[in-house]
Amino acid sequence: MAPRIVIAGSANMDVVGLAARLPLPGETVLGDDFMMTPGGKGANQAIAAARAGGRTIFLGAIGSDAFGVTINARLTAAGVDASGVRTSYGQSGVAVIMVDRSGENSILVAPGANTSFTGLTEPERRTIAEADVLVCQLEIPVETVTEAMRVARAAGTRTILNAAPARSLPPELLDNVDLLVVNETEAATISGRSEIDMSALLALVPRVVLTLSGAGSRYADREGVDTRVPAYVVEVVDTTAAGDAFTGAIAVAWGEGRSLLEAVGWANAAGAACVRHVGASNALPTRDEIDALYLSVSPPRTE
């Protein structure tokens, strides 16, 4: 039976401009192209988990505008149960994204309806309690993330926090995190150290995955494991949502009972499969695409 994954987080409409290079402050750059696609770290991770094979439920909030309708349609089309998504009067979240020809991006999020996702309802709490894995990020109010993690822990649901975007976190939230997924910036913010300090992170949570973009990932836990997991060599078109592909995939693999080391390798493949395409939710790979890259042998990965 596929694991039941609940993602509580943000949903945005991504307004994406593609250009040879990103503009400097105060500068105008003529771009190559433009697209709009549903995104938001929460919705992306829900779609990633569903495509990776999880029975996935998304909890979040959209606005009463046309963007909200499109975001909902994208979630549903990807096989995500979005029936509990709240609609609040006003604008949906919007992310203004610029992508250069190396695939690098910069993102500004106007959170809109995501800020209204506060105070979990009884049905939302039940949904979290019945899940195998709960996944949250930090584009919704931190009080909601804290509450969701507390409900999950009390019910024995495994918890994953993808601490993006970077911010410092209340101890009560970290106390209920089973697995922390962070990039180097987020790791530094949470640990309060300028350099990467895994032992400082492991003093806060029992398991950590540090994502290293093109260099793969590092997994460490309180049992003494501290291992680099290699990256996959792919042509990078757009790095947007690579972390979301990774997080959705690791939730599914862990929920399936695979070891976390194996789950990290499989999630690395999911992230690599994502960066081959422009956009966020539309670029997230299916289980077959992840498996194809994960099982590829020539050339498989790089340290």
Which residues are known catalytic residues? Answer: 244
Number of residues located near ligand RIB, criterion CB under 6 A: 16
Whose Cβ is closer to ligand RIB: residue 127's or residue 239's? 239
Dihedral angle sign, alpha carbons of residues 122, 123, 128, 130: positive
Shortest separation between residue 214's beta carbon and ligand RIB, angstroms: 17
Match 């709490």 to its residue by tokens.
125
**Binding-site string for ligand RIB from residue 139 to residue 178, where x marks contact by CB under 6 A and - marks none:** x---------------------------------------
Stretch that binds ligand RIB, among 33-41, 58-66, 145-153, 259-267 (CB under 6 A): 33-41
Question: 240-269: which residues touch ligand RIB (CB under 6 A)?
Answer: 240-241, 243-244
Whose Cβ is closer to ligand RIB: residue 159's or residue 240's? 240
- Indicate whether 39 belongs to the interface with ligand RIB (CB under 6 A): yes
**Choice from 82, 95, 174, 190 touching ligand RIB (CB under 6 A):** 95
Query: What is the rounded distance in angstroms from the CA atom of residue 15 to the CA atom of residue 109?
Result: 10
b/e code 228-242 from CB counts within 10 Å (16+ = b): ebebbebeebbbbbb
CB 9 within 8 A of CB 141: no
Crossing angle of helices 66-77 and 41-51, rounded to 10°: 20
Query: What is the rounded distance in angstroms from the CA atom of residue 50 to the CA atom of residue 242?
Result: 15
Shortest separation between residue 36's beta carbon and ligand RIB, angstroms: 11
Structure letter (DSSP) for residue 52: T
Torsion of CA 183, 188, 189, 193, to 10 degrees: 170
Q: Which segments of the chain are extended strands (E)?
A: 4-8, 12-18, 33-39, 55-59, 61-63, 86-88, 93-99, 105-110, 133-136, 158-162, 179-183, 207-211, 217-221, 226-229, 231-232, 301-302
Whose Cβ is closer to ligand RIB: residue 211's or residue 240's? 240
Stretch that binds ligand RIB, among 20-28, 54-62, 215-223, 237-245 (CB under 6 A): 237-245
Question: 174-233: which residues touch ligand RIB (CB under 6 A)?
Answer: none
- Indicate whether 238 belongs to the interface with ligand RIB (CB under 6 A): no
Whose Cβ is closer to ligand RIB: residue 107's or residue 155's? 107
- Indicate whether 63 belongs to the interface with ligand RIB (CB under 6 A): no
- Indicate whether 41 belongs to the interface with ligand RIB (CB under 6 A): yes
In the three-class reduction of DSSP (H, G, I as helix; E, B as strand; rest coil), residue 56 is classed as strand
CA distances in angstroms from 231 to 121, 133, 152, 239, 294, listed in the order given: 40, 25, 31, 14, 10
Query: What is the rounded distance in angstroms from the CA atom of residue 270 to the CA atom of residue 209?
Result: 15
Match 């309060």 to its residue by tokens.
192
**Choice from 109, 252, 275, 293 touching ligand RIB (CB under 6 A):** 109
- Indicate whether 301 belongs to the interface with ligand RIB (CB under 6 A): no
**Choice from 5, 8, 15, 40 touching ligand RIB (CB under 6 A):** 40
Whose Cβ is closer to ligand RIB: residue 208's or residue 284's? 284
Per CB under 6 A, residues contacting ligand RIB are: 10, 12, 14, 39-41, 44, 95, 107, 109, 139, 240-241, 243-244, 280
